[in-house]
Structure 1
Amino acid sequence: MTLHHRPASTSQVQAVIFDWAGTLVDFGSLAPTQIFVDAFKSFDIHITLDQARGPMGLSKWQHIRTLLDEPDIAAQWQAATGSAASDADVDAIYARFMPMQIAKVGEYSHAIEGAADTLAALRAQGLKIGSCSGYPRQVLDVLLPLAAAEGIAPDHVVAGDELAAGGRPGPFMALANVLALKVGDVAACIKVDDTVPGIHEGVRAGMWSIGVSLSGNEVGLTAAQAAAMPAAELARLKAHAEDRLRAAGAHYVIDSVAQLPEVVAAIGLRLAAGERPA
């Protein structure tokens, strides 16, 4: 029997919980990255795209706090303002970031190739589809209808700012999906994410965790840039991304969600054999 026709084994998996940017939409996770650079620049603080990518996966407020705690950025803030960055300063940058992100997220909302087909295939097997994001609800309110028009419409969505317990790297958003979807066993859930905090989230929730390398934040290229890059260089970037995601606890790493159905099949077989995520 091929991996494409496994009703007995696939039924062991109950739900798949996806990240958004870099996983389902926005190849390269560009929308949040560039806006962080622009928001900091509006305060005369200069950060690189690589610096902006570093804490990706956290809630956006915590992302800003983490950036301001980096020595180079902290030194810039101290020189510009005469004091260390406070939580009130994080609030000010966040307030600048939010309208910029809301205005721009639609430009980066395109579904990643194969994502809609993957969701359809999982639903055809009876799986529930959850999702969560570092994006706040106001940003998701713009993104969700645009994604739905391209066939990306999970059964449940949790935003990065709406749980009192907090967001990643804690398990809370993933577990909120378990509750909403009424899944009876966290070991029957799969978390799919392109960031290190997102993999930590899945592992801490007791789920199988799958990292996404090529389409995600760790490689950080547009689809066109990836296609134009020499094969050896692209392979090097993917290998580095895979190493980071596996070090975070990923049980599997794939290029994009287009490859996910085969991994879901493999996990179904492992569950049927009595395995649980380590």
Structure 2
Amino acid sequence: MKYSQPNKLQAVILDWAGTVVDFGSFAPTQIFVEAFKEFGIEVSLEESRGPMGMGKWDHIRTLCNVPEIAERYREKFGRTPTDDDVTAIYERFMPLQIEKIAVHSGIIPGALESIQILRDKGLKIGTCSGYPKIVMDKVVELAEKNGYSPDCVVATDEVPNGRPYPAQSLQNVISLGISDVAACVKVDDTWPGILEGRSAGMWTVALTCSGNALGLTYEEYKNLDKAQLDKERQRIQKIFEGSKPHYLIDTIAELPQVIEDINLRLSKGELPQCS
């Protein structure tokens, strides 16, 4: 039997917060701030955004490794944070996240329309997130009420390793019955999510303005003047540089045009691993 590379896309694997829901990715970031505060540790919203895209325990561990945050913890408790301390913060984070997830559950403008265009082209819609399943169940429930029901959902604790490892995207490939990873696109607003897609051998699309990197509400984003927006795009492009996304766009509203371009490249024999 001879290998035949795909000539068109079969699936899009979408992130959740900052990609399809929660413009600005406020739900997870704000809760990190609140969880640390309950232990008497001040963490800014900007600091909490740093490792966004990782699984939430790993995110907290990474924050605790930041020298400034570790020093605040040492001043409070006389030691730098251990894994047990990380788990204690995580266990406080979880109920706060579940309690407040609905506050930031709105569908990002243009998302439903773009997803419908992709479905009309025959693409399956997979998803994954840095949220664990107990939170994802709530996120999915809220999204369904707002008209969004993907074909597959994979939470970070349903695979051996979360982002930036490829396991969640690859589980989507298996569950959706996709024949080739090169026929998939991973769409995400964080560098760990783009690394996930790259490591899985997929096309990757980084969202520069709807998620964690810009960190603004939709109204704030729309009110930025052109010069400021261009400056922010350049700053965010540098954040994504190391993860090597194939495309950078503002929001998921622009995704259908990217899908057309990828299909054209596939038809010419191009593969994501070669670019």
TM-score where L is the length of structure 2: 0.95
Counterpart CA distance in 2 for 1:28 and 1:273 is: 36
**Alignment match of 2:178 (pick from 172, 183, 189):** 183
Report the 3-state secondary structure (helix = DSSP H, G, I; strand = E; otherwise coil) of the residue aligned with 2:59: helix
Deviation per CA, 1:41-69, whole angstroms, max 9, x where unpaired? 11111111111000000000000000000
1:151 paired with 2:147, answer yes
Structure 2 residues not aligned, in runs of 5+: 1-5
Deviation per CA, 1:51-94, whole angstroms, max 9, x where unpaired? 10000000000000000000000111111111221111111000
1:205 paired with 2:205, answer no
Partner of 1:7: none
Partner of 2:125: 129
Contact map agreement 2:70 2:81 (CA 8 A) in 1: yes
Partner of 2:211: 216
Pairing 1:66-85 to 2, within 5 Å after superposition: 66-85=62-81
**Alignment match of 2:245 (pick from 234, 242, 250):** 250
Report the 3-state secondary structure (helix = DSSP H, G, I; strand = E; otherwise coil) of the residue aligned with 1:161: helix
**Alignment match of 1:233 (pick from 218, 228, 236):** 228
Q: How high is the sequence identity, in percent, across the aligned residues? A: 50
Report the 3-state secondary structure (helix = DSSP H, G, I; strand = E; otherwise coil) of the residue aligned with 1:258: helix
Q: Which amino acid aligns with 1:16?
A: V
**Alignment match of 1:106 (pick from 85, 102, 107):** 102
Partner of 2:82: 86
Partner of 1:269: 264
Q: Which amino acid aligns with 1:96?
A: R
Deviation per CA, 1:17-47, whole angstroms, max 9, x where unpaired? 0000000000000110111011101111111
Q: Which amino acid aligns with 1:60?
A: K
User: What is the RMSD of the two structures over their aligned residues, measured on CA atoms?
Assistant: 1.2
Partner of 1:37: 33
Moved beyond 3 Å, runs of 4+: none
Contact map agreement 2:7 2:269 (CA 8 A) in 1: no
Contact map agreement 2:7 2:266 (CA 8 A) in 1: no
Give, in angstroms, the shift of residue 226 of structure 1: 1.3
Report the 3-state secondary structure (helix = DSSP H, G, I; strand = E; otherwise coil) of the residue aligned with 1:111: coil
Contact map agreement 1:11 1:125 (CA 8 A) in 2: no
Report the 3-state secondary structure (helix = DSSP H, G, I; strand = E; otherwise coil) of the residue aligned with 2:153: coil
Partner of 1:3: none
**Alignment match of 2:255 (pick from 242, 245, 260):** 260
Aligned length: 268
Give, in angstroms, the shift of residue 237 of structure 1: 1.1
Deviation per CA, 1:113-171, whole angstroms, max 9, x where unpaired? 111111111111111110000011111111112112222211000011221x2100000
Q: Which moved more, 1:58-67 or 1:41-50?
A: 41-50
Counterpart CA distance in 1 for 2:235 and 2:149 is: 31
Contact map agreement 1:115 1:152 (CA 8 A) in 2: no
Deviation per CA, 1:206-258, whole angstroms, max 9, x where unpaired? 00000001101111101111122333222211221123224311000111001
Pairing 1:6-17 to 2, within 5 Å after superposition: 12-17=8-13
Contact map agreement 2:32 2:93 (CA 8 A) in 1: yes
Counterpart CA distance in 1 for 2:125 and 2:232 is: 29
Contact map agreement 2:55 2:162 (CA 8 A) in 1: yes
Counterpart CA distance in 2 for 1:247 and 1:232 is: 25
Pairing 1:166-181 to 2, within 5 Å after superposition: 166-181=161-176
Q: Which amino acid aligns with 1:192?
A: V
Contact map agreement 1:116 1:150 (CA 8 A) in 2: no
